[in-house]
Structure 1
Amino acid sequence: MENYFQPTLPRGSILEISSIGLAHMGDAVFELLVRSWLCAHGGATGRGMHRAAVALVCAESQAEKAEKILPLLTEEERAVFRRGRNAQVHTVPHHASRAQYSGATALEALLGWLYLQGERERINQLFCIMMEEEEVHGD
């Protein structure tokens, strides 16, 4: 039986996934990490936790966090990041610039790529760096 909770796809299969597809997967990975981080750090419950999660997963915040880890990426990770940043997105949220949205998409593509390879440790390492100076804000 396949384990869709912890997939590990062959590199060739992952290369066939579009940047937008990788970003779609990475969006879910980042959301789960943020929710786990909020639960682990307490201080936010109910509506406050939702607001805190939304503030952390928005394009502006993701783009800022992407900048923190960019110097730490391997050459292969940078290539995936660039591929995600160059993805052709047709709509950009009103509250984000095109550059911010591209940075967020790049981060999500990287996280999706790492996740589908089974690189949970690397994802966690990068996520911890992204969240180093973050504080929980909520009810």
Structure 2
Amino acid sequence: MENYFEPNLTDDQLRAISSIGLAHMGDAVFEVLVRTWLCAHGKATGRGLHQATIALVRAESQAEKAERILPLLTEEEAAVFRRGRNAHVKSVPGHATRAQYGEATALEALLGWLYLKGRRDRINALFRAMMEE
């Protein structure tokens, strides 16, 4: 790969990445999107910005946002989402239920998959749907 800012992996390359690997990538993608959204909307400054970011990237919030976009997913996206939800995680944070953590992991896996596939347009559309108030 020559440009790590704009990856575009093949389907075979994407299938070789574990669900946890996709979620790892998607976690970073989601956090960048949340930070951008907060800055662009003037939602907070300084310490408040950090606290607002944490509130949005927590598993409970991600699970709620995942529910908003489930009806919008294509069959292929839904399959990636299910694959992420079924990932075997070793521990769950105390503030989230296992179900919430599974949904959050699924959302992150989907975002990671879309990012590595080069589908920033689709990520943006789904993120906008997640953040509608």
Q: Which residue of 2 aligns with 1:55?
A: 55
**Deviations for 1:90-115, whole angstroms, at most 9, x for unmatched residues?**
10000000000000000000000000
Q: Deviation of residue 43 (structure 1)?
A: 3.1
Q: Distance in 1 between matches of 2:126 and 2:96?
A: 23
Q: Distance in 2 between matches of 1:78 and 1:24?
A: 18
Q: Distance in 2 between matches of 1:50 and 1:6?
A: 27
SS of 1:93's partner is: coil
Q: Which residue of 1 aligns with 2:7?
A: 7
Q: Which residue of 2 aligns with 1:105?
A: 105
SS of 2:94's partner is: coil
Q: Deviation of residue 11 (structure 1)?
A: 1.1
**Deviations for 1:27-66, whole angstroms, at most 9, x for unmatched residues?**
0000000000001001311100000000000000000000
Q: Distance in 1 between matches of 2:66 and 2:78?
A: 11
Q: Distance in 1 between matches of 2:78 and 2:61?
A: 19
Q: Distance in 2 between matches of 1:105 and 1:26?
A: 9
Q: Which residue of 2 aligns with 1:19?
A: 19
Q: Distance in 1 between matches of 2:53 and 2:106?
A: 19
| Percent sequence identity over aligned pairs | 76
Q: Distance in 1 between matches of 2:10 and 2:69?
A: 25
Any runs of at least 4 consecutive aligned residues in structure 1 with deviations exceeding 2 A, and if so which? Answer: none
Q: Deviation of residue 82 (structure 1)?
A: 0.2
5+ residue gaps in structure 2?
Answer: none
Q: Deviation of residue 117 (structure 1)?
A: 0.5
Q: Which residue of 2 aligns with 1:46?
A: 46
Q: Distance in 2 between matches of 1:71 and 1:132?
A: 15
SS of 1:91's partner is: coil
Q: Distance in 1 between matches of 2:35 and 2:2?
A: 25
What aligned pairs does 1:24-103 form with structure 2 within 5 A after superposition? 24-103=24-103
- TM-score normalised by length of structure 2: 0.98
Tell me the number of residue pairs that the alignment of Structure 1 and Structure 2 aligns.
133
Q: Distance in 1 between matches of 2:43 and 2:123?
A: 24
5+ residue gaps in structure 1?
Answer: 134-139
